[in-house]
Structure 1
């Protein structure tokens, strides 16, 4: 499996999957949006919200991929530098999580009264322009410039990330609705989860710079 993805220019595919799942598990507007929709309108509402979020992510990944692909074509040496900047950015995000004093109120970004669950999920994703910066830093970390195949590589990475989002979102909708709501309102558990994720991101960024 690893060899297959490496042939497409994707390195460390298992680390890509693990990192994506960690990011998805962090409490955020998307998570609360899915939980709210599922809690109010059941499985159908939860999945409608999830698909809206996935579409929004797809748009942001497409915009980020255009920028990364242009950089890769223009100057491979600069692209290598971006890989190190991406690793540093992950470590920076980890430090913010690790040393944060208060968790941000992500649920406040969910209030879009009068619109469908799908539209709500889509808009919640698009109003976060920082996601484009994140994908710009995230994609280069797992691309081998010598083996990459352009659009096919980015489409494969996007498919992996979307599959992880579908899996995690389904857990929220089908299994974790009640439990996740309770955990989401428990500040101690949420703080512990954020700090654990921060340590993971810092270590992950350091590991990537030593590869």
Structure 2
């Protein structure tokens, strides 16, 4: 049974948490900000990251909604492509050696919110990801228009807030561990890769 037009709500929640756990520029920006500027700096950066994410999500939602209204049959094809894309991302993570962009992050006091937002907005792959991700969890029959997208966006924001709060309070200790021990980053990426390959196959078969 679909919740607010979202097919398989718990799989949606788990998938979002898996993506949040993948170390990336946003993760390290958050750890850097909280490590250098405390909890307040961490939440300022997080606010920017979430706002940037919401902007990209709504841009993607507009495209997905237009596709769903114009051609429901084509929308089903997009769902299969989304599942394949999920598997492809998972395979890339499994093949990754754990490289991260930590050296490129330069956060300055007083600009943490804006810089956090730009880290998200300047990632061209993000909107492509949302265009592929949203259709996987939309029930074309129970879909409730923009209300469904609003529910999905709100859930992603809440899950981001909860997960990233753990990173903020972990602060310098977690940042140091992740940066010093590349195997930890690599382990997290490969674990996420396994989950994503499994999700893609399961959702594509469903």
TM range (shorter): over 0.9
User: Normalization by structure 1: what TM-score?
Assistant: 0.93
- The match for 1:149 is 144
**What are the equivalent positions in structure 2 for 1:8-47 lying under 5 Å apart?**
8-47=4-43
Superposed CA offset, 1:86-123 (max 9, x none):
000000000001112x3233213422557611111001
Give runs of ≥4 in structure 1 deviating > 4 Å: 112-115
2-side partners of 1:140 and 1:11: how far apart?
10
Deviation, structure 1 residue 199 = 1.0
2-side partners of 1:109 and 1:22: how far apart?
24
Provide the aligned C-alpha RMSD in A. Answer: 1.4
Secondary structure of the residue aligned to 2:204 is: helix
Superposed CA offset, 1:114-163 (max 9, x none):
76111110010111011000000000000001110111000000001111
Superposed CA offset, 1:23-74 (max 9, x none):
0111101011111111111000000000100000000001000000010011
1-side partners of 2:76 and 2:190: how far apart?
29
Secondary structure of the residue aligned to 1:161 is: helix
Contact 1:109 1:124 in 2 (8 A): no
Number of matched residues? 206
2-side partners of 1:75 and 1:181: how far apart?
49
- The match for 1:174 is 169
Deviation, structure 1 residue 7 = 4.5
- The match for 1:68 is 64
2-side partners of 1:122 and 1:111: how far apart?
13
2-side partners of 1:78 and 1:185: how far apart?
47
Residues 176 and 43 of structure 1: CA distance in aligned 2, closer, same or farther (over 3 Å): closer
Contact 1:95 1:198 in 2 (8 A): yes
Contact 1:83 1:137 in 2 (8 A): yes
Deviation, structure 1 residue 176 = 5.2
Contact 1:87 1:205 in 2 (8 A): yes
- The match for 1:128 is 123
Contact 1:27 1:184 in 2 (8 A): no
